Structure 1
């Protein structure tokens, strides 16, 4: 048996019979055809598995929806669904994944402030293409593990169960869960928290010591946030999180703050969701949009715009913010008048990214002007200096 051989425990289905999410249209025009979110501007209680279970011929790690996977040896070559899992791998001291669904949404610039940690995003193969996600790429990369939810490939990538089975048997197992969002109807199994998923991946790569170090650092970080967030809910900022995929947006795809890892920084900072008590529905439900008139009726204190992470703050101000300030209707919004329009953060975040974007979010809505975590400590953990 070579290093890519594995066993999926009997009685546990890889994908399961889950409800489909077919025929979905995207909010806005998407440059890559059909992905999980609109196109980006160019400028729960989880099962308890404290440690990987040893077996006679390797070790087993369990994760929904793939069940229990037995690895004959520690994986080396890997691919990831998105930046959440890619960032977890970097935190574990791994080389960058050979491929991700959309490298443009794995924002490696977040590592710029971490000494000795960097990833060349241009070296990562894009799994999504003009005709979707092709099986031939999986054969070409010849990974030891595919860190992605097989259900996502079927519901968003148009794969059949037979395609999943083929890659499993001919290349390597799938091992992942779509943790970033709870908005997909077909995801009727466990939604792991960021650190629950991170622990699973650390077990698969046999690097639980780094996970434990990050977990301790994260707990300290959460304590620092407790001193920032006002106790009274009424004293916390009201925010509207939306996708704005152009430099001159006049309509927006609304997000309601949910339990997925995509919103972790905003939940941890205790912000109030401006859409929560309105008729506005999350775009996942009906791919709806809101315009300036709707926003004026709600008039949130802060506008947090996604789809803008490739821009620096200055570039964002020179394009999107400048446009809103000059628009006859947009300029009437309180957030625009008060200078409270910011980039809303990435769709995908792992343990390092979360520290960076949460610190940035604290500076946006609470005017925090200091570092909230030790960047050298992050670098040391990545390097294995525990």
Structure 2
């Protein structure tokens, strides 16, 4: 699609010069280190349908407003693995670029027959000095599936930079949905499936979305049998970022409405940090140490930043270290063998199924498949 084949019909004012650290951190290069679905409680409103126009169609999404397309987009880039996975679920080719390819964990597709993504072919948008406009010109995408406010906050862009790329290259179409912890995000949060529906409208592949929504509803029903009715009987978990093999300092995450925590909400776990004075990493870049963890002493300890390891690699490095550490070994979760990889920051409709099933095996000892892999593959292939 030629860059002139779209117009931004109306727009919700983008927050200029929004606050936020743009530097790298232990919990996240690009400053996104910590942190959706049809059944989540959320702050969203009714989803607008695609509106036909004389010269194409338009789709509205906060904060970008209504975007009109004269042709269906082809080349695309995505902010992160949430949006990238939505595209794969719609049967698209992988995005040409994402913020950090290392955090788009394509190994999850190994679970799905016939679905694969070569992560090495995806361009990294985040560099040592942030995100450069030259990369957007080089890729020349038809659509940039990312929240422009996130780009301003974490990428240190100005509104004029956003306007330039929209005019010279292609529109922005996205909302930062993985975490609700950013103060600058004062507009609608979309659940995973609300955002997924928006993207399916932009790419005119709503039939695949509807098939996934049905599959997801069936999956949610199957989870209900796993979760104890009494909240006091549900597992208590602490989710932290610990990216090294021998962690002694941890970035805490409180379970909230962002897509980043979808599997844990769906499984009804209790948040060990919820009734403490520990602040979420996104709020103030906070850290906790072994002393704090021992005071809380969660039943399960879930470590993020470890998704590039297999289960055995994780146990041979991180878990082995915690067992040998004087303080770490005193944690109940360590003593009971309840230390696990806590999942990635980003998940979409396919990866959420894989991650939720894995989480169910971790906290509920489920040892069976909870969703039909072949059905997922069929939907991706358009065999509806």
TM-score (norm 2): 0.95
Are 1:161 and 2:159 matched, yes or no? yes
Count of paired positions: 377
Q: Equivalent of 1:37, from 33, 39, 42? A: 33
Instruction: Measure, in 1, the Cα distance between the counterparts of 2:106 and 2:25.
Output: 25
Shift of 1:35: 2.8
Distance in 2 of aligned mates of 1:118 and 1:348: 17
Is the alpha carbon distance of 1:260 and 1:81 closer, same or farther for their aligned partners in structure 2, counting shifts above 3 Å? Answer: same
Query: Equivalents in 2 of 1:49, 1:217: separation in Å?
Result: 20
Whether the 8 Å contact between 2:79 and 2:145 is mirrored in structure 1 is yes
The reply on whether 1:267 has 2:265 as its aligned counterpart is yes
1:378 and 2:376 correspond: yes
Task: Find the aligned partners of 2:364 and 2:232 in 1 and give their Cα distance.
Answer: 14
State the match for 1:5 in structure 2: 5
Label 1:252 to 1:45 Cα distance change in 2 as closer, same or farther (>3 A).
closer
1:309/1:346 contact within 8 Å kept: yes
- How far apart, CA to CA, are the structure 2 residues paired with 1:150 and 1:248? 36
Match of 1:58 in 2: 56
- Residue number in structure 1 paired with 2:278: 280
Match among 183, 186, 194 for residue 185 of structure 1: 183
| 2:240–2:253 contact (8 Å) kept in structure 1 | yes
| CA–CA separation in structure 2 for the residues paired with 1:50 and 1:165 | 25
CA distance in 2, matches of 1:237, 1:353: 23
Describe the superposition over 1:199-221 as per-residue Cα deviations: whole angstroms up to 9, x where unpaired.
Answer: 00000000000000000000000
Deviation at 1:8, TM superposition (A): 1.4
Q: 2:48, 2:60 within 8 Å by CA — same for their partners in 1?
A: no
2:294 aligned with 1:296, yes or no? yes
Measure, in 1, the Cα distance between the counterparts of 2:142 and 2:45.
24
Aligned to 2:214: 216
2:71 is matched with: 73
* Contact residue 27 and residue 253 of structure 1 kept, 8 A: no
Question: 1:169 Cα deviation (Å)?
Answer: 0.3
Are the equivalent residues in 1 in contact too, given 2:319–2:339 (CA < 8 A)?
A: yes
Q: Within 2, Cα distance between the matches of 1:120 and 1:25?
A: 28
Instruction: Report the equivalent of 1:15.
Output: 14
Name the SS of the counterpart of 2:31 in structure 1: coil
Distance 1:22 1:226 in 2: 38
5+ residue gaps in structure 2? 35-41
SS in structure 2 opposite 1:254?
Answer: strand
Matched residue, 2:256: 258
- Judge conservation of contact 1:27–1:283 (CA < 8 Å) in 2: no
Quote the residue 1:41 is aligned against. Answer: none
Which of 334, 337, 340 is 2:338 aligned to? 340
Counterpart in 1 of 2:245? Answer: 247
In the superposition, relative to structure 1, how do residues 167 and 24 fare at CA in structure 2: closer, same or farther (>3 Å)? closer
Shift of 1:16: 3.8
| Whole-angstrom CA distance in 1 between matches of 2:374 and 2:77 | 27
Alignment of 1:89-108 (within 5 A): 89-108=87-106
1-structure distance, mates of 2:137, 2:269: 45
Q: Helix, strand or coil for the counterpart of 1:9?
A: strand
How far the C-alpha of 1:23 sits from its partner, in A, is 4.1
**Does the CA contact (< 8 Å) of 1:243 and 1:305 recur in 2?**
yes
Q: Alignment partner of 2:240: what SS? A: strand
**Which of the numbers 128, 131, 148 marks the counterpart of 1:130?**
128
Q: How far, CA to CA, are the matches of 1:28 and 1:115 in structure 2?
A: 35
* Equivalent-residue separation in structure 1 for 2:293 and 2:2 (angstroms): 58
| CA-to-aligned-CA distance 1:243-301 (integer Å, 9 cap, x gap) | 00100001100000010000000000000000100111111122111111111111100
Residue number in structure 1 paired with 2:171: 173
* Contact 2:178/2:345, CA 8 A, preserved across alignment: yes
Q: Residue 362 of structure 1: which of 337, 360, 363 is its match?
A: 360
Superposition RMSD in Å: 1.5
Kept in 1, the 8 Å contact 2:2–2:142? The answer is no
Alpha-carbon distance in 1 for matches of 2:22, 2:73: 34
| 2:102 match: secondary structure | helix
